[in-house]
């Protein structure tokens, strides 16, 4: 089968770089509107996220120390780099390692402020990473076992049936950790996208103005990338599969909003226990069975 041309892969990465903030901002707006409706409120405009970013960027920069800005800038850079690698069709292992690097920079940025609340948020962020990293690794391994390659561009041309057919357990396991990555209840321990949930907002307590805007923009890029991973489960060598993969990503995002609004926050030990059980039962068992019978 023919591989995707390099030019097309570079164009896809460039489109991600330009379009992801707008798509991510709209996803954030949809999240806030639907959440408000579920709670019996009118809610903000769907474009409220963009208004917030513009307002934050217009404020005077007031940061605890200069190194904090460098760490947050590195967080944004590696998030964009991760998404660009993915949409350019690069190695999934390298993509997930880049994502891990980005989140380490976020935790270090919070810890560098010496604020007890931000430091606690940084510690919880590292706990969340400890919970979801095994499943991200198993996701990459699952795609390799199903397609015979780690490169996301080659995966699209190697299979006649979508990966969801052979990786249903890995898919459900990935959805389990997606709750953590999207910072949804019940596993939004380090910080939340809803400011009213805590007096201080965990890992982002000491971020304000343009510095806080960097973090919000990074999450928009990250959310688009995560939806791209979801779509990988539904894409095959049929070009029309792109349409139902987009539809599946939209449905998954709506399910995440529903989960967020129907659950209370859990403790960190419950998060670790539940996530590791889901990883072993759903992810590892699915890959083992696929490897045996393939």
Q: Where are the domains of the chain?
A: 6-293
Chain centroid to Cα 277, Å, comes to 21
96 close to 181: Cβ distance less than 8 angstroms: no
DSSP states of 73-117 as a string? Answer: HHHHHHHHHHHHHHHTT-BHHHHHHHHHHHHHHHHHHHHTT--HH
pLDDT tens digits for 177-216? Answer: 999 999 898 888 887 666 555 445 778 888 888 989 999 9
In whole angstroms, what is the distance from residue 59 CA to residue 73 CA? 18
Please name the residue that has the structure tokens 């996301």. 152
Query: Looking at the DSSP assignment, which residues form a beta bridge with residue 91?
Result: 151
Using alpha carbons, select from 5, 16, 6, 150 the residue that is nearest to residue 91. Answer: 150
Query: From CA 224, how far away is CA 230, in angstroms rounded?
Result: 10
Q: Which of 252, 248, 268 is nearest to 260 (CA)?
A: 252
Give the predicted TM-score (pTM) of the model.
0.93
User: pLDDT value at position 192?
Assistant: 67
Q: What is the pLDDT of residues 133-179, one digit of tens each?
A: 999 999 999 999 988 888 888 877 667 788 899 999 999 999 999 99
Identify the H or E element spanning 155: helix 152-158
């Amino acid at each position: 089968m023919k591989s995707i041309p390099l030019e097309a892969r570079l164009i896809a990465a460039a489109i991600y770089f330009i379009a992801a903030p707008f798509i991510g901002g709209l996803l954030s707006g949809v999240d806030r509107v639907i959440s408000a409706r579920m709670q019996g409120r009118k809610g903000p405009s769907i474009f409220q996220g963009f208004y917030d970013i513009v307002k934050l960027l217009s404020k005077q920069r007031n940061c605890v120390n200069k190194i904090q800005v460098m760490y947050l800038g590195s967080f944004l850079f590696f998030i964009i780099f991760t998404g660009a690698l993915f949409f350019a069709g690069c190695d999934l292992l390298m993509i997930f390692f880049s994502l891990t690097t980005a989140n380490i920079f976020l935790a270090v940025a919070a810890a560098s402020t010496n604020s007890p609340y931000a430091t606690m948020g940084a510690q919880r962020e590292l706990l969340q990473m400890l919970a979801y990293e095994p499943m991200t690794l198993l996701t990459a391994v699952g795609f390799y076992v199903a397609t015979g390659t780690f490169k996301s561009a080659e995966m699209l041309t190697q299979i006649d049936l979508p990966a969801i057919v052979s990786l249903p357990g890995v898919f459900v396991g990935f959805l389990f950790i997606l709750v953590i990555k999207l910072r949804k209840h019940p596993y939004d321990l380090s910080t939340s996208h809803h400011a009213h949930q805590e007096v201080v907002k965990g890992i982002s307590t000491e971020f304000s103005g343009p510095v806080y805007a960097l973090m919000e923009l990074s999450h928009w890029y990250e959310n688009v990338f995560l939806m791209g991973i979801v779509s990988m489960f539904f894409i095959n060598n049929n070009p029309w599969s792109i349409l139902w993969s987009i539809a599946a990503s939209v449905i998954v995002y709506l399910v995440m909003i529903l989960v967020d609004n129907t659950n209370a926050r859990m403790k960190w030990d419950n998060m670790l226990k539940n996530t590791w059980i889901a990883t072993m039962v759903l992810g590892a068992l699915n890959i083992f069975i696929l490897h045996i019978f393939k």
